[in-house]
Chains A and B, each alone.
Chain A
């Protein structure tokens, strides 16, 4: 055979021919026995090479049986074990018997009801019991008895058919393989979703950095008065770890609130949504981020106390270098007794807040400086 034929044979075997070339080569082999033999030699030779280059992987008995059971369960038309070909006629005994019993059962079901024959339970029949028995002995991936077709081997002719244990094992192996496939598919889907989530979060962060122009951020924790006095902190970095897309950068989305109130911002993936009911036994907590580029601050508030209608929660900040707290807004009433996110804006020229404070003040005639009980304070 020529070098060209060898090249063509290789391309044919490796699936590199286009449909026209494939058809032409197939026709050539069909009419030229020398070419056909040469092609066979190529196929066998390449097979020999592949087996030599890829070490066969030893397969345990269990894995082989499980693999085979899964294959038999998937094979269509359904694989029919015929272990003893000499007893082929015996294989018809069960289906004929089953067909007769099913027919008798149907006749009894469809015929007018009368006094049941002695020895049977009303509502059931010997045919019911026999048919049920026949069905249960042929479970496990092997087709149930049908009135016309060959079924699994007849009783007594094979240990692989109507006895219980081998069929149950086969069925269990097949089921195990199905579960393993399902698990692998679900794991793959979960991995894919995780990847999509991370990609989406990264894209959101990049968009926030470029479109929103978020610059340097200052962050601090706010705790209740007792914790503040003791110096207890939860550890801001523990909270921010999952949110940081780059060192020191937190993804936020600015929002606007009503007049006199700090803006209610929708902050994706930060808090458990605005207005989440808080646990009464947990102390209030917050952490704050200040965007120096926009002079805007963000507060994530947790477990806020309930507030009487005559009172309000006032937010104060002390810009760096200043000795006085100045009011920046009120926490919206919808967050009383709950958790939520808010934002505020400082006038241009103000430095980054060095302290943030939330106190309980009267709603009417609010003071110019903090006077009421401290709800939250930081850093």
Chain B
């Protein structure tokens, strides 16, 4: 279940389709809908405000340039943009920091729970359901997914950071994702 309802997701696909035709207004609408979300994800990965700003801009420019390549059967527009900003931010992170530093500092990153804030175009019910998603995961599953997604860590690096065998890390990631899929299908 994503922070947007079915109608909103449909509208997002229409916008991307129009962007492929060179419609800048569609880009503006998409920007308005996703800029806060992408800023949040980029900031979670990079921290430096200038890097965050540039990465978000790069993401929307890429989205504009690659709008014609978007495949709705591979994921919703939210997934397309979220993974685009994630990959752009990870590339920037790898350019700037050494992986060891990222792994060593992970304990601080994961120490506390993050307070959820409402996303744009999101009602209270969906917000609560999103928050509930995280609590359904085990601590290890959540940590492993966060390390993989937000820190770009490989399974070996996650194992090192969590002081766990690689096999366990694979299980955390796989079961975590399966649980997320089950939750999504339950609420959709």
Given A36-B74, A43-B75, the answer on whether A10 and B148 have CB atoms closer than 8 Å is yes
Residues of A contacting B: mostly: helix
A45 and B41 contact, CB distance less than 8 A: no
> Which chain A positions have C-beta within 8 A of B31?
64, 67-68, 71
Nearest Cβ distance between residue B161 and chain A, in whole angstroms? 16
Interface string of A77-117 (1 = CB under 8 A from B): 10111110000000000000000000000000000000000
By beta carbon, the residue of chain B nearest A49 is B180
By beta carbon, the residue of chain A nearest B83 is A13
Does B1 belong to the interface (CB within 8 Å)?
yes
A50 and B76 contact, CB distance less than 8 A: no
Residues of B contacting A: mostly: helix
Instruction: List A55-71 residues whose CB lies under 8 Å from chain B.
Output: 55-59, 64, 67-68, 70-71
> Which chain B positions have C-beta within 8 A of A44?
2, 75-76, 78-79, 184
A-B contacts, CB under 8 A, total: 185
Instruction: List B140-188 residues whose CB lies under 8 Å from chain A.
Output: 142, 145-146, 148-150, 152, 154, 170, 173-174, 176-178, 180-181, 183-185
- For A47, give its contact among B28, B53, B82, B115 (CB under 8 Å): B82
A45 and B177 contact, CB distance less than 8 A: yes
Does B131 belong to the interface (CB within 8 Å)?
yes
> Which chain B positions have C-beta within 8 A of A15?
87, 90
Interface string of A243-257 (1 = CB under 8 A from B): 000000000000000
Beyond the given A68-B28, A180-B53, please list 18 additional residue pairs across the A-B interface where CB-CB is below 8 A: A6-B174, A9-B177, A10-B148, A10-B174, A39-B74, A40-B75, A43-B79, A44-B76, A47-B75, A51-B2, A51-B119, A52-B134, A53-B146, A54-B40, A67-B57, A72-B27, A72-B28, A79-B27
A-B pairs, 6 with minimum CB distance = A79-B24, A43-B75, A45-B180, A54-B44, A57-B39, A56-B36
Residues of A whose CB lies within 8 Å of any CB of B are 3, 6-7, 9-10, 13-16, 29, 36-37, 39-59, 64, 67-68, 70-72, 74-77, 79-83, 177, 180-181, 184
